[in-house]
Amino acid sequence: MPNKVEDFIYKKVIRSLMLTSRLGRQSVLGEAATGYNFDHMYENKPQGFNLIGRLIDRILLNLPAVRATRNRRATLIKILSNEIENHKVKRMTTRIIDIACGAGRYLTDISEVFREEKIEIVGVDYDNKSLKLGQALAQRHGVPKSSIRFIKGNVFHLQVLKRFGRNIDWRPNIVVASGLTVYINDNQVLEMLRQVYEGLDKNGLFLFDSQENNPSRKLMEKVCNTKEGAWVLYYRLPSVWRKWLSETGFNDVIVSRDQWGMYNLCTARKP
């Protein structure tokens, strides 16, 4: 298809249809990468300004990339649950910090499932609307404030991790970075790995995701926008992560690819 025709279809036809749905409208108007936009994907309840808008929202919510995102949430919960069970056997308190947590729906899920266990969770994000949604979700599910807190911090300057631990004498044994690495360049990633390694407790787990590809890549790049501009991601192979994690000092590296060939869920441990 000639570029001019393709651009017309994406920017005039598809964009106009997407504006009628909640997911489409937020993604087109600069909110594609926000925590509340991803939370709408997790909740999976179509919304729109009319019947057509709700139909478009249902179509968007069933895209392979969105289904992969919901699968990511389920996988994160499984990995975190396993680590919490291991801590339980050792009579350890689980201390989780999630950098770029968004609304942190899976953090609320974990807090709710392990309500009787010793769990302390801190979610860090820079977007006020996402943080307020995270607080509302936790409150709605009756999660005590002592179990989960949301604080504002610039996750692209990860000194927040070190400073937070120093200020309250609190060191995480799990660090989560879901949906962060795809937005930062190689130098920022390497600095993130170093900061996480320094801030993580001994034998602690680092859990994050990355993307190899995205079945909605063309749609994202031609129509969708973040607050910083076009929705363009960094795609990296598992071999890159194994190398970087090993060089940083992590061991027990596990990289799992999802069925859509989109997300890689990565875990690594600080010795």
- pLDDT bin (cut points 50, 70, 90) of residue 159 is low
Domain hosting 37: range is 3-62
DSSP 9-25: IIIIIIHHHHTTBHHHH
Phi/psi of residue 248, nearest 5 degrees? -75, -25
Bridge-based pairing of strands 94-99 and 119-125 is: parallel
Token reading at 212: 């190899």
| Number of domains the chain is built from | 2
Residues 71, 50 share a domain: no
pLDDT tens figures, 92-106: 999 999 998 988 899
Mean confidence (pLDDT) of the chain: 91
Q: Which residue has the higher pLDDT, 240 or 151?
A: 240
Query: The domain spanning residue 137 has which CATH number?
Result: 3.40.50.150
Cα angle 60-66-70, degrees, rounded to a multiple of 5: 135
Q: Which residue has the higher pLDDT, 159 or 227?
A: 227
Handedness of CA 102, 134, 61, 79 (dihedral sign): positive
Give the mean pLDDT of 187-199.
Answer: 91
Residues 151, 34 share a domain: no
Round to whole Å and give the CA distance between 239 and 241: 5
Confidence check: pLDDT of 186 > 70 = yes
Round to whole Å and give the CA distance between 12 and 51: 20
Residues 72, 56 share a domain: no
Question: Closest by alpha carbon to 102, among 48, 63, 152?
Answer: 152
Please check whether residue 28 is in contact with residue 15, taking contact to mean a CB–CB distance below 8 angstroms: yes
pTM of the model: 0.91
